[in-house]
Amino acid sequence: MFLRNYWYVAATDEEIGRKPFPRMILGEPVVMFRTEDGTPVAFEDRCAHRHLPLSMGKLVGDRLQCHYHGLQFDMTGRCVRIPGQDQIPPTAKVKAYPVVERYHWIWIWMGDPALADPDKITDFHWLDDENWGAKASYLHVKSNWQLVVDNLLDLTHLAFVHETTIGNAALAEHAVVKVTRAPNNVVVTRWIIDQDPPPTFKKVGGFTGTVDRWQIIDFVPPAFLRLDVGATPTGTGAPEGKRVGGINMRNLNAITPETETTSHYFWGQAHDFDVKNKDLTQKIFEQIQMAFFEDVEVFSAQQRNLDLNPNPPQLDINADTGVIQARRIIDRLRGEEQAALQMTAAE
């Protein structure tokens, strides 16, 4: 079951243009496009007349024209032209979703439009900030969205899944982990002190000796994970808050459910050193992307097993603390949203 009254990332800014772009979000077909002045628009991808996806149609000025019988819809979703018919009934409209463009992403509100306050959009400014170098991308995931959230809240997997890039044994075996929680937030802080840096950190940071490495994972529901990650040479004061002579990055993730068993994974990597160096931004991005490709394989393999038996017994280990706290928040919010819907239905 999806959480609906939240802003989700629907697309990257580059994906949306003057060609209608279809994407399934929270189990609903959505079509997105830009008006002539560049404003992003999102409709349900289904003509009000005979259900053809409107994404098969084309833009005529700022109107989206259905491919089947030529009905035209304005940017509010109202039908403004029916070929061969002067009178347009008021029911001739398609659902239009609130949309905001921010941080190089197109955000969509799939719930009650009256609640769509853009101030509630989760902060991802690192992707659009001159003090940071950043590159973002998109991955399609063949698993339920919560498996991706779980993955990012327990980074001990880096030691095993990503040993050629961002992981090494130190991070599973020699770490100090602290989990803090609030009603709508989980923070997992992991310090790995005086250990060898993983391969990616050696390539990007040029470390020669051991490092003090941090991973501070900030989870905000339904599926936003902002990771403050980096390392400095051991003993230079990072645990006390002094980050010098190393690398300081943000790994930024926004997961949007497509269906119950598939997901859209929007992610980016930002760095605060040598920020104008595009080659460096690209190099860091490619290293992290390699790791993310490895994750995507894990997600689909997990999902294949879950498809065979959706509720098997499962073992929880100490490293799951953040995962379990986040799942508990999501369950609570789901209950609250369902209760609110039932109240509305009863009225």
Partner 1 sequence: MAETGGWQRVAALSDLREGEAFVAKLGDAAIALYRLNDGVYAIGDVCTHEFALLSQGFVEDGAIECPLHQAKFDIKSGRCLAAPATEDVKSYTVKVEGNDVFVRT
Closer CB to partner 1, 91 or 314, in the complex: 314
Q: How far is the CB of 44 from partner 1 (least distance, A)?
A: 40
Residue 257, preceding peptide bond in cis (omega within 30° of 0)? no
Q: How far is the CB of 339 from partner 1 (least distance, A)?
A: 21
Q: How far is the CB of 340 from partner 1 (least distance, A)?
A: 25
Residue 190: C-alpha distances to residues 30, 62, 155, 235 (Å)? 39, 50, 9, 17
From the list 229, 306, 231, 212, the residue with the least C-alpha distance to 267 is 229
Residue 344: C-alpha distances to residues 111, 112, 309, 338, 347 (Å)? 13, 11, 34, 10, 5
- What residues between 99 and 118 interact with partner 1 by CB under 8 A? none
- Separation between Cα atoms, residue 173 and residue 17, nearest integer Å: 48
Q: How far is the CB of 75 from partner 1 (least distance, A)?
A: 48
Closer CB to partner 1, 215 or 303, in the complex: 215
Q: Does 91 bind partner 1 (CB under 8 A)?
A: no
> Percentages helix, strand, coil for the chain, rounded to the nearest 5?
30, 35, 35
For residue 70, with 0-12 CB atoms within 10 Å meaning exposed, 13-18 middle and 19 or more buried, which class applies?
A: middle
Binding residue count for partner 1, defined by CB under 8 A:
11
Closer CB to partner 1, 278 or 332, in the complex: 332
- What residues between 170 and 199 interact with partner 1 by CB under 8 A? 177-179, 181
Q: Are 160 and 152 in contact (CB under 8 A)?
A: no
- What residues between 281 and 340 interact with partner 1 by CB under 8 A? 316-318, 320-321, 324-325
Q: How far is the CB of 313 from partner 1 (least distance, A)?
A: 12
- Separation between Cα atoms, residue 330 and residue 144, nearest integer Å: 14
Token digits for 290?
């390699």
- What residues between 120 and 179 interact with partner 1 by CB under 8 A? 177-179
Question: Dihedral (C-alpha) 296, 300, 305, 309: value to the nearest 10 degrees?
Answer: 110
Q: How far is the CB of 285 from partner 1 (least distance, A)?
A: 33
Closer CB to partner 1, 142 or 181, in the complex: 181
Q: How far is the CB of 316 from partner 1 (least distance, A)?
A: 5
Q: Which residues contact 152 (CB under 8 A, 6 or more apart)?
A: 217, 219, 225, 227, 253
Closer CB to partner 1, 283 or 328, in the complex: 328
Closer CB to partner 1, 42 or 188, in the complex: 188
Closer CB to partner 1, 150 or 258, in the complex: 150
- What residues between 251 and 280 interact with partner 1 by CB under 8 A? none
- What residues between 13 and 32 interact with partner 1 by CB under 8 A? none
CA 105 to chain centre: 10
Closer CB to partner 1, 24 or 179, in the complex: 179
Q: How far is the CB of 322 from partner 1 (least distance, A)?
A: 9
Q: Are 299 and 291 in contact (CB under 8 A)?
A: no
- Separation between Cα atoms, residue 223 and residue 187, nearest integer Å: 13
Q: How far is the CB of 189 from partner 1 (least distance, A)?
A: 12
Closer CB to partner 1, 169 or 179, in the complex: 179
Q: What is the torsional sign of CA 316, 320, 324, 327?
A: negative
Q: Which residues bind partner 1 (CB under 8 A)?
A: 177-179, 181, 316-318, 320-321, 324-325
